[in-house]
Amino acid sequence: MFTIMLKAKLHMARVTHAVLNYEGSCAIDGELLDMSGIRENEQIQIYNVENGQRFTTYAIRAEEGSRVISINGAAAHLAGPGDRVIICSYAHYSEAELEHHQPRLVYLQEGNTVSHTSNAIPVQFA
Closest residue by Cα to residue 64 from 19, 40, 33:
33
Catalytic residue among 22, 47, 58, 90: 58
Catalytic residue among 25, 36, 70, 89: 25
Residue 3 is which amino acid? Answer: T
The answer to whether 73 is annotated as binding is yes
Our answer to whether residue 25 is catalytic in this structure is yes
The answer to whether 57 is annotated as binding is yes
The answer to whether 76 is annotated as binding is no
Our answer to whether residue 36 is catalytic in this structure is no
Do 26 and 38 form a contact (C-beta atoms < 8 A)?
A: no
Closest residue by Cα to residue 119 from 2, 4, 7:
7
Catalytic residues: 25, 58
Binding residues for substrate: 57, 73-75
